[in-house]
Structure 1
């Protein structure tokens, strides 16, 4: 019999070198801080808003701020599912908040990773999720009024999935929570859509999430392996609840109402809705309707509440960024701040998301990466599904086959790259929309009747008039590009 001991000796001698090489490779890999923010439209100081967001503004000054980032679906669960998987919706089930549950939960682990966090985990990253990253706010599958379970929404993405529910008891109660520990469910929706309470940051859930993230950063930065920490903040999602000190940052009477508070000329009612989510807070001062918008005073109050929530969230982001800075790992960390979709603040008479209009589909996106330029105000059109391949390129990790998204890593240093195609597709119910630099081209299936809308944009990106009938040549020019986005029977 052939003696294999010499070979074994060589292998054993090689082990220390292999371990050293692995440790060296791990040390050179960038860490990742991924911050998800619920319902965050492009309402940051860095975008020119009056909203006070000094921490995110500072982050934007250190990296790239994207002015034309578009989500694929204007509802949280489906938007997050597309972003996490790098895929356009494949059928109508992918337009639901239950998209991750339908496609990923209860499935055996396969060759194709379930999400980008799963792919990072397979490639040497220690992955931690805190708060709402996918749809379920603490990563576990259970209904708004059901007991908490330990059944994961994403079975293979996380080494740790954490959440501090505090006085609210579980994730959904915290998500819809008020300062006294109650929630929308316990009050049977007999609540206001806003609250100003004289409490500390920890008086609402996002303060607890920030504290948990700070603690976890201190732990992760002592490890000898690259980490990916994803942190999900609730605000500014309804209810618009935040500590009084953030309300005090604004003079309500000086807050402007929407620059487009009425329905665009020629806009079909099928493209709008009656703000049902907002109306589920049934003690609101007024109720909005497509036929009649709320008073300007109430619109200012609601916008005040939303702005206060954004400033509150920004302060929590600041705590996390400060902890990363203090750890000494800031310079070797990719930081992404992403809003899962926009939100109508009375724009087009709507209070909520769930439309294929600009305000609902555009959201905040900030990326800071080692070796990339600072202070880039990027006007290129990017999709949420492009984040997955971009992150993998920045980490030098090969992509799994079949992603729909495209890496825009080049745009972080070369924002004028001529090879980049400026086009975004979004989907909802029986509708598909295409965004190009100048136009939004949307088609709705209204019980078999195809409704076409075309909006042309100036710098203010306000939809004032459907010009589809006035510009049939533009419709015909855009139609083939729009058809490229049809992936199922709409």
Structure 2
């Protein structure tokens, strides 16, 4: 493999001016963009996203997940084993990563479109495109449907339903049509959760994904959304991409629920081999009252059904593990294609997940919490000049992807990004230093270091966990007088003057694409068909 000196490469004067504005027929130029010079020698980028993948990865120390391809990727690069997502929800986590900015900066705490809130924001692929890269994407990179994107950022992006260009996309997550078992939902807990909806509509198929799992026939694997996304990447890498370097984004849906994957992946996990996480009785009793109420409501809805009423805890975990191994196989197909391509020695790989996942820890399932199980994610880098078979245990943030990729590619910095450049650590992981990173929601913020997790909610209530001695976060020690100095120190990292939440997009707007432009249509107006007029909310 050819070796690139990343330190020297990022200092090359590749661009004549960092303040040259590129005009666009999509949007008046309202922000500083850069004019690309000769990028023919720049590294390519393979940008791989997974959904709800926690640390059930062999290379991260998990003892039961079967992840040979994630493990081999980690062996050829650097795995950050203490990486954290910037939000407890999927949409703002992905928005934060793609913009390089915290939710408290953009106002995107839930389902807001960042390019509606602030059209001057240039997201990560947009920055690459503006600097001479070909950008191509497939699958779930943002939270919304394929094709519901900022058109300024992508040369090509697959659309699972092109007709929606004219009908309009909502921001809500809906995956492409994919094989699923008959008579779903299969999980008795899921059927119980949705029993009222099923009474109203026994044939209801969607939305019924929550906590559901089950095998599908092995011969359905080629029809699955992630299999198709992997094939898109395989075909892309097999073809000549011209003189420009590329940014290829590949977004996988798995292991997001429902965990419907081929039977062979379930067969890899005999039920009696499944390990359940340790739990502490009355674990939630030392939490702030409103958080205790919120989590007990979730536990009563999910954990009691899964653990007590139907006793399918191992089955539910097995469904998740089977889905992890399925997506690992798709990642392996993409890695094989890269290794067999002309781009093998000139491509940086970064793999990430939008957040982690609870599989019964703290009596909780899924995500949306200010705990380690939600924030902790796989974060693996590999490619020319990057150290091999190394791990880093100091805290990092998914915010760091944006500035690091720009550095590795030799592109100008984006001064608006809030992460740090990890290039030096990728070259020499031994120099990594711990730092506080943030996990932000619309109701609180966590400050995370190797040793501590401190959460302050909007009402001033607090949680504090000493992760070194309490990795399961069982003992909230925020009220102990001896810890007030620690809290004061950690609180220095909380956002100052956080931005108010923006437009709750799914409830109010949809995006309509016409040619190379788009506009926002009010759903309230659209629902009043009698007027036969759709109000445009801004045009780009």
Q: Tell me which interval the TM-score lies in, with the shorter structure as reference length.
A: 0.7 to 0.9
* Structure 1 equivalent of residue 180 of structure 2: 179
2:144 pairs with 1:131: no
* Structure 2 equivalent of residue 474 of structure 1: 483
Does structure 2 conserve the Cα–Cα contact (< 8 Å) formed by 1:178 and 1:195?
A: no
2:242 to 187, 212, 223: 223
* Structure 1 equivalent of residue 226 of structure 2: 206
2:439 to 426, 433, 444: 426
Deviation at residue 297 of structure 1 after TM alignment: 4.1
* Structure 1 equivalent of residue 27 of structure 2: none
* Structure 1 equivalent of residue 265 of structure 2: 246
2:314 pairs with 1:313: no
Deviation at residue 264 of structure 1 after TM alignment: 5.0
Using the alignment, how far apart are the partners of 1:338 and 1:178 within structure 2? 25
Using the alignment, how far apart are the partners of 1:74 and 1:385 within structure 2? 14
The 1:292/1:395 distance shift into structure 2, 3 A limit, reads: closer
* Structure 1 equivalent of residue 514 of structure 2: none
Deviation at residue 72 of structure 1 after TM alignment: 0.9
2:68 pairs with 1:54: yes
Show structure 1 runs of 5+ residues with no match: 1-21, 141-152, 280-285
- SS of residue matched to 2:205: coil
Does structure 1 conserve the Cα–Cα contact (< 8 Å) formed by 2:181 and 2:216?
A: no
Using the alignment, how far apart are the partners of 1:95 and 1:399 within structure 2? 25
Q: TM-score, normalised by structure 2?
A: 0.74
- SS of residue matched to 1:432: strand
Deviation at residue 204 of structure 1 after TM alignment: 2.1
Using the alignment, how far apart are the partners of 2:173 and 2:182 within structure 1? 12
Does structure 2 conserve the Cα–Cα contact (< 8 Å) formed by 1:68 and 1:380?
A: yes
- SS of residue matched to 1:426: strand
* Structure 2 equivalent of residue 146 of structure 1: none
Using the alignment, how far apart are the partners of 2:406 and 2:106 within structure 1? 28
2:317 pairs with 1:303: yes
- SS of residue matched to 1:323: helix
Deviation at residue 458 of structure 1 after TM alignment: 2.6
2:126 pairs with 1:118: yes
The 1:445/1:222 distance shift into structure 2, 3 A limit, reads: closer
Using the alignment, how far apart are the partners of 2:397 and 2:310 within structure 1? 34
Using the alignment, how far apart are the partners of 2:337 and 2:306 within structure 1? 47
2:43 to 30, 35, 53: 30
Stretch of structure 1 that moved more, 391-400 or 185-194: 185-194
Deviation at residue 379 of structure 1 after TM alignment: 0.5
2:451 to 438, 444, 449: 438
The 1:205/1:291 distance shift into structure 2, 3 A limit, reads: closer
Deviation at residue 223 of structure 1 after TM alignment: 1.8
Show CA shifts across 1:99-152 (max 9, x none): 436435xx4xx4xx5201100111111000101111113032xxxxxxxxxxxx
Using the alignment, how far apart are the partners of 2:407 and 2:105 within structure 1? 28
The 1:430/1:299 distance shift into structure 2, 3 A limit, reads: same
The CA RMSD over aligned residues, in Å, is 3.1
Show structure 2 runs of 5+ residues with no match: 1-34, 163-168, 186-202, 501-540
The 1:40/1:294 distance shift into structure 2, 3 A limit, reads: farther
* Structure 2 equivalent of residue 389 of structure 1: 403
Deviation at residue 38 of structure 1 after TM alignment: 0.6
Q: TM-score, normalised by structure 1?
A: 0.81
Show CA shifts across 1:293-335 (max 9, x none): 5469411111100000000000001111111111131221000
Show CA shifts across 1:388-441 (max 9, x none): 0011111111112222111111111222326x4521111112211111121111
Does structure 2 conserve the Cα–Cα contact (< 8 Å) formed by 1:86 and 1:404?
A: yes
Aligned counterparts, 1:46-445, within 5 A: 46-49=59-62, 50-90=64-104, 93-100=107-114, 102-103=116-117, 107=119, 110=120, 113-140=121-148, 153-164=149-160, 174-175=175-176, 177-179=178-180, 186-189=204-207, 193-200=212-219, 201-219=221-239, 221-260=240-279, 263=283, 266-268=286-288, 270-271=290-291, 273=294, 287-289=301-303, 293-294=307-308, 297-417=311-431, 420-445=433-458
Stretch of structure 1 that moved more, 262-271 or 48-57: 262-271
Does structure 2 conserve the Cα–Cα contact (< 8 Å) formed by 1:267 and 1:465?
A: no
The 1:480/1:390 distance shift into structure 2, 3 A limit, reads: same
2:452 pairs with 1:452: no
The 1:320/1:291 distance shift into structure 2, 3 A limit, reads: closer
- SS of residue matched to 2:393: strand
Does structure 2 conserve the Cα–Cα contact (< 8 Å) formed by 1:176 and 1:183?
A: no
Using the alignment, how far apart are the partners of 2:179 and 2:307 within structure 1? 27
Using the alignment, how far apart are the partners of 2:470 and 2:324 within structure 1? 21
Does structure 2 conserve the Cα–Cα contact (< 8 Å) formed by 1:77 and 1:100?
A: no
The 1:274/1:101 distance shift into structure 2, 3 A limit, reads: farther
- SS of residue matched to 2:312: helix
Does structure 2 conserve the Cα–Cα contact (< 8 Å) formed by 1:164 and 1:212?
A: no
Does structure 1 conserve the Cα–Cα contact (< 8 Å) formed by 2:137 and 2:156?
A: yes
The 1:130/1:269 distance shift into structure 2, 3 A limit, reads: farther
